[in-house]
Structure 1
C-alpha cells in the first residue's frame, strides 16, 4: 500500500505533464505555422524523469516503511 501511495500520483503526474506538454507544443507550433518534426522526441526526457522518480521512490521506501510501523506512527 505504501508503494501504491507513491506510484499512483507519479504516474498520473507524468501522464498529465506529457499530455499538457504535447498539447501546448502543438498550439505553439500552430501559432508559428510549423510542422512536428519528431513525434517521439519527448520519450527520452520522460524516461529519464520517470527513472529519477523511481530511484528516489525506491531509496525513500525503507524509511517510509519504518515510519508506517505502529511504533513509528505513535511518535507522530
Structure 2
C-alpha cells in the first residue's frame, strides 16, 4: 500500500482499499479481503460469472415476454 491508500471497513462489514489515482488524481476504491489483498479471479471464475450473468439476462427477458402475453390474454399478472 502506498501512502495515499487506506484500508477501511464499510457499513456492511466489507473491507475496501481507498486511494487517489497517481495519473488523474481521482479518488478510487476496490473491495478487498480482510487482510487488504486483492484476489485475482481465474479464467474459469470469469467465464462462470459471464455465463451466470447471461443466464439471468435471458431469464429476465423471458419473464417480460410471459407477462406481456398474459396481459394480452387478460390474465391477472402477479
Which TM-score band applies after superposition, normalised by the shorter structure? 0.3 to 0.5
Q: Relative to total residues, which structure has the larger strand share, 1 or 2?
A: 2
Q: Relative to total residues, which structure has the larger helix share, 1 or 2?
A: 1
Q: TM-score, normalised by structure 2?
A: 0.36
Please tell me whether Structure 1 or Structure 2 has the larger radius of gyration of its CA atoms.
Answer: 2
Specify which structure has the bigger relative contact order, considering alpha-carbon pairs within 8 angstroms and separated by 6 or more residues: 1
